[in-house]
Structures are given as structure tokens and as C-alpha cells.
């Protein structure tokens, strides 16, 4: 969430909130946090009000997509003929 919250939300919503629930983001600051620090929350909220935490699955999805993108880029560079 921290570096690219919009992109992470764009990836998390269709992957983790499929049942018609809405994605909600929030931050919590605790007394032990230093200035500028906070805890991110990413939840799917169903129509009946139940909340499901999807932060770690969303982080995994973003990292997986980044890995796939970097490996695709690597394979394209290797396939290009060297002149």
C-alpha cells in the first residue's frame, strides 16, 4: 500500500472482492508509531457489513504480477537478436 496505494487497490479489488463487496482502505496511527508512520488496512466490505482483511493477499498479488512482468521483460530481452 505504502508506495503505490492506487495501483494496489486497482489490483486487489477485482481479485479479492469478487462477491460484490467494496474495497475499503484506511490507516491507523498508534501511540508507538513515529511521526509519519501508520498501519495500512485493506478490507473487502460485504453488503451485510462483514469485513474481510485482504492486505496480505493483495501484497502477494502485486509482488507476483511484478515478478511476472520482470521475467517477461527478461525473456523478451533474451529473445531479441543482438546486432
Residue 81: its pLDDT value, please?
A: 53
What tens-digit pLDDT sequence spans the chain (83 residues)? 455 566 667 777 778 788 888 888 888 888 888 888 888 888 889 989 999 888 888 878 778 877 777 666 555 555 555 55
**How many domains does the chain contain in total?**
1
Residues 6+ apart with CB under 8 A from 53: 41, 42, 43
Q: What is the pLDDT of residue 78?
A: 55
As a whole number of angstroms, the distance between CA 22 and CA 26 comes to 13
Q: Residue 60: give the domain boundaries.
A: 5-79
Amino acid at each position: 500500500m505504502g508506495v503505490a496505494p492506487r495501483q494496489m487497490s486497482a489490483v486487489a479489488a477485482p481479485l479479492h472482492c469478487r462477491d460484490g463487496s467494496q474495497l475499503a482502505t484506511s490507516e491507523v496511527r498508534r501511540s508507538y508509531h513515529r511521526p509519519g508512520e501508520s498501519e495500512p488496512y485493506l478490507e473487502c466490505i460485504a453488503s451485510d457489513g462483514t469485513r474481510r482483511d485482504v492486505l496480505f493477499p493483495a501484497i502477494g498479488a502485486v509482488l507476483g504480477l511484478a515478478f511476472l512482468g520482470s521475467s517477461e521483460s527478461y525473456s523478451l530481452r533474451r529473445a531479441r537478436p543482438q546486432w
